[in-house]
Amino acid sequence: MEWEQICWVGEYVTLNVGAVLAAQGTVAKKEDPVCDEALSCQNNLSKDRSICLGYYGIYYIRYYKNKGPDGEKAWPKKYPFCGGVFQSPIDFHKDILQYDSNLLPLEFIGYNVPSTDHFTLTNNGHSVKMYLSPTMAIRNLPFEYAASQLHLHWGNRNKSEGSEHTIGGKHFAAELHIVHYNSEKYPDVTAAMDKADGLAVLAVLLEIGPFNPSYEKIFRHFRNVKYKDQNVQVPGFNVGELLPERLDEFYRYEGSLTTPPCYPSVLWTVFRHPVRISQEQASSRRAHSDLADVS
């Protein structure tokens, strides 16, 4: 498959902790100087597309157009929301961050799941997800959001740093996403995922440090879901152990699913403090990183 690099340049307006409120722009030609700037930005986040918020209100997205057989269906034509105003992930840096004293720490309901209950860890051919019970929920957002699933984004053999969000241009080893849907307005995650107020995702940045026994409660089952359609039951545990100790410092913004169809439906909470896992845990998990992800 062959990819052609093109980029999008626009202007944005921000308010409240980096939320991109409005942006408009055009696809620039590869030769344009502004494109060079976009391409040189350190925020090379995924194999298909990257985004960075530049200085002076300039908003860059670069993405790769598939020149292969599916070229006509390349982003963003196929997925009109990809490369749009609310595209995630983003880089958190001082120029776009604003302190908002109205934001409250999240409240976690039902996160401590007894070991007599189970989560299903499944490989659908695209990603490994662990399904969560909707009895788990988060509060202190505009709505109550019930848990749907969690998954991780890893680096690959070419790039060991696999986080989607970055802080001041810095990548982290991996990133955990815990996906929730607006259970006050929608019956399930499918109904919610394309609605503007549909999803709330918690993101935890992972960096290399000591062995992490809490994450191992998921990782040790990964070898049993190496192949498509494999499932394994994971005994219940306190999912709150996967979060950083400090829950009162986070970045909040309105964004999107990070992969197609890129619906601009996600209220993101990215915790400021990373959680550590060991190099061995990261390396062995990276072996499964060819699996793409949803959200």
Are the C-beta atoms of residues 52 and 60 closer than 8 Å to each other? Answer: yes
- Short-list 53, 39, 42, CA closest to 10: 53
Query: What is the distance between the alpha carbons of residues 186 and 259, in angstroms, rounded to a whole number?
Result: 22
Query: Is the Cα dihedral 82, 88, 90, 96 positive or negative?
Result: positive
Instruction: Supply the residues annotated as catalytic.
Output: 126
The window from 28-36, 87-95, 176-184, 246-254 that contacts Zn ion (CB under 5 A) reads 176-184
Minimum Å gap between C-beta 81 and Zn ion is: 16
Label residue 18 left, alpha or beta by phi (over 0 means left) and psi (-120 to 50 means alpha).
Answer: left
**Nearest to Zn ion by Cβ — which residue?**
177
Q: Residue 75 contacts by C-beta under 8 Å, 6 or more apart in sequence?
A: 48, 49, 63, 65, 82, 83, 260, 262
Minimum Å gap between C-beta 113 and Zn ion is: 21
Running DSSP on this structure, what letter comes out for residue 170? B
Query: What is the distance between the alpha carbons of residues 138 and 98, in angstroms, rounded to a whole number?
Result: 23
Torsion of CA 152, 288, 43, 1, to 10 degrees: -130
- Residue 293 binds Zn ion, judged by CB under 5 A: yes
Size of the site for Zn ion (CB under 5 A): 3
- Residue 254 binds Zn ion, judged by CB under 5 A: no
Residue listed under structure tokens 């986080």: 163
Q: Which is nearer to Zn ion, 96 or 270 (CB)?
A: 270
The window from 28-36, 71-79, 170-178, 187-195 that contacts Zn ion (CB under 5 A) reads 170-178
Minimum Å gap between C-beta 152 and Zn ion is: 8
Minimum Å gap between C-beta 253 and Zn ion is: 15
- Residue 177 binds Zn ion, judged by CB under 5 A: yes
Strand partners of residue 239: none
- Short-list 111, 113, 131, CA closest to 121: 131
The window from 53-61, 77-85, 86-94, 287-295 that contacts Zn ion (CB under 5 A) reads 287-295
Q: For residues 24-63, which are near Zn ion according to CB under 5 A?
A: none
- Residue 286 binds Zn ion, judged by CB under 5 A: no
- Residue 89 binds Zn ion, judged by CB under 5 A: no
Among residues 148, 183, 256, 295, which is the contact residue for Zn ion, using CB under 5 A? 295
Tell me the residue ranges of DSSP E strands in 192-230: 199-208
Q: Which is nearer to Zn ion, 7 or 61 (CB)?
A: 61
Q: Which is nearer to Zn ion, 289 or 295 (CB)?
A: 295
Query: What is the distance between the alpha carbons of residues 172 and 89, in angstroms, rounded to a whole number?
Result: 13
Minimum Å gap between C-beta 279 and Zn ion is: 22
Query: What is the distance between the alpha carbons of residues 31 and 38, in angstroms, rounded to a whole number?
Result: 11
The window from 24-32, 173-181, 205-213, 268-276 that contacts Zn ion (CB under 5 A) reads 173-181
The window from 19-27, 91-99, 172-180, 213-221 that contacts Zn ion (CB under 5 A) reads 172-180
Query: What is the distance between the alpha carbons of residues 235 and 191, in angstroms, rounded to a whole number?
Result: 28
Q: Which is nearer to Zn ion, 28 or 270 (CB)?
A: 270
Minimum Å gap between C-beta 110 and Zn ion is: 22
Residues that bind Zn ion (CB under 5 A): 177, 293, 295
